[in-house]
Structure 1
Amino acid sequence: MSPLARVSAAYGPRFAEFAFEPAFLAAVDQHVAELRERLEAGSADLHPPAPDAEVLADYSLGFLDALTETGWLEPVGHDYAVCRLTAISWLARRHNLA
């Protein structure tokens, strides 16, 4: 399974939390903006272009590897990693990359 598919399967279900967790939605939105900027997919257009699937997959894999190396365990709530992984999942789904 590709890194994007793995992240999407694991964190896509968290989109349902947006309806009752506005702070989580805002945090994920900020992570999406940071990812677009980092992956050079940012744009002043009303509808920014899709990030390159390979670049997003490579980023995802590196991020997952770093979490594994640090011994990260997914918390009950929303930490930086959960927000970042949910943002990756959102980008992958939004642009049909996974």
Structure 2
Amino acid sequence: MSDSPGCPLTDVALAYLPRLAEVTSEPGLAAAVDQHAAAVCDALVPAQRGPEGRTVRREELADYVRGFTHGLSEAEWAEPAGHDFVTLRLTAVCWLIREHDLLDA
């Protein structure tokens, strides 16, 4: 992850969006990414926000990603070949970026 001053969603999308292709072919992986996406939404969007449904906002997700990736930098995390908690979480962030069209926001 870079420490660029811009929106961190672009960096995450570039790095992890390709992993979404794997999700469609592996039901267990799809379920794990779905659970991670739900956890991120729970952290960002209060359930009482409105009857029209929960909306993930670009600024909130970007702040979440900044904090998450800052922790990864401090821990000197290295991306594994497979899937761990971090890769699943960042893949879920990509799913949210795509579903809520947050790169063009």
Is TM more than 0.5 here? yes
- Identity of paired residues, percent? 45
1:69 aligns with 2:55: no
Structure 1 residue runs of 4 or more that deviate by more than 6 Å after TM superposition? none
Gaps of 5+ in 2: 1-5
- Number of aligned residues: 96
Q: Which has the larger radius of gyration?
A: 2
**How far does residue 19 in structure 1 lie from its aligned partner after superposition?**
2.8
Cα distance in 1, alignment partners of residues 17 and 81 from structure 2: 16
**How far does residue 48 in structure 1 lie from its aligned partner after superposition?**
3.9
Structure with more relative contact order (C-alpha pairs < 8 Å, separation 6 or more): 1
* Aligned partners of 2:45 and 2:54 also within 8 Å: no
Gaps of 5+ in 1: none
- TM-score w.r.t. the length of structure 1 is 0.87
- The alignment's C-alpha RMSD in Å is 1.9
SS of the residue corresponding to residue 33 of structure 1 reads helix
1:58-86 residue CA offsets vs partner (Å, 9 max, x unmatched): 00011111111101110111100000001
1:92 aligns with 2:97: yes
